[in-house]
Amino acid sequence: MAAPLEEPGGQGPGGLPPLPGIDAPARRPPRSGARREWQDARVLEVRRETARASTYRLGLPRWEPHVPGQHYVVRLVAPDGYRAERSYSVASPPSDEGVIELTVERLADGEVSAYLHDGIAPGDELTVRGPFGGWFVWRGDTPAVLVGGGSGVVPLMAMHRHWRATGRRAPLRMAVAARSPEELLYRSEYGDETLLAFSRAVPEGSPRPRGRLTAADLEPLLLPGATHYVCGSTPFAGHAEELLLGLGVPADAIRVERFGGG
């Protein structure tokens, strides 16, 4: 039954203009194997990254390749049944088969992050579920500009590592902001493609003065046709997206993942 429409000549709902869609072809839900079950992962290695961040390398009984940018959920259960769950981005590339690496920053009042830092060692088990997320992802075959602040660099590092592991098929540029060199994650992995911006303390001899990310920092990184991935705290992400928009990057070419209070 066609509903009366205000426009003359309307054809009923089937004839309405299409709903706006960021990614219109994906309007059907994923049906095949979309359900992810909880599984007990084995902690293979715990790697200290900075004073406040560690990487947990987990072996999964049922592993499937994630898309760089996706996350897993970690579940902790207390003896009385109390549960806490948190999402953590995968830092490792999908070529690292059978395992995932999660980098977790210890938060001042963190319930889960504090437990992981104090209570988890190689040989332990952790209950996880994933991978999840189908928007903040990069498959490696289109130009990408990555802008990360603090631990927001974690999902971007999965993309960076994927880019290297697959022979740099598409152009990639990266900007990483950290307070100081001591707080920079994955410091040995950046090359010419990456701009490092330290806001409070710079390494000796650094050509860039300390200070927050600027348009002048990002301008040389822009790539034609790129998707821009911004990840960090709410203030950082807001600042970075304003810089990109100010440089003429279209809003629909920017994907944002934020965390923290606002």
Partner 1 sequence: MAKLFEGRSRAGRDPRLPPGQYDVGGGWPVLTAEPTPRVERDAWTFRVDGLVDAARTWSWADVQRLAATTWRGDIHCVTTWSKLDTAFTGVDLDVLLDEVGVSPSATHVVAWSSTGYTTNLPLAEVRGGKAFLVWEHEGQPLPREHGGPVRMLVPHLYFWKSTKWVSGLRLLDHDEPGFWETRGYHELGDPWREQRYDGD
214 CB contacts (<8 Å, ≥6 apart)?
243
In the complex with partner 1, the residue whose CB is nearer, 129 or 187, is 129
In whole angstroms, give the CA distance from residue 211 to residue 201: 9
Q: Tell me the closest approach of the beta carbon of residue 140 to partner 1, in angstroms.
A: 19
DSSP string, 93-128: -TTSTTEEEEEEEPPTT-SHHHHHHHH--TT-EEEE
Residue type, 64: E
In the complex with partner 1, the residue whose CB is nearer, 124 or 193, is 124
Give the per-residue contact string, 54-93, with partner 1 (x = CB under 8 A; - = no).
Answer: ----------------------xxxx--xxxxxx------
Q: Tell me the closest approach of the beta carbon of residue 128 to partner 1, in angstroms.
A: 13
Report the Cα 42 to chain-centroid distance in Å. 23
In the complex with partner 1, the residue whose CB is nearer, 6 or 192, is 6
Residue type, 75: R
Q: Tell me the closest approach of the beta carbon of residue 162 to partner 1, in angstroms.
A: 19
Residues touching partner 1: how many (CB under 8 A)? Answer: 60
257 forms part of the interface with partner 1 (CB under 8 A)? yes
In the complex with partner 1, the residue whose CB is nearer, 112 or 202, is 112
Contact yes or no for 158/68 (Cβ under 8 A):
yes
259 forms part of the interface with partner 1 (CB under 8 A)? yes
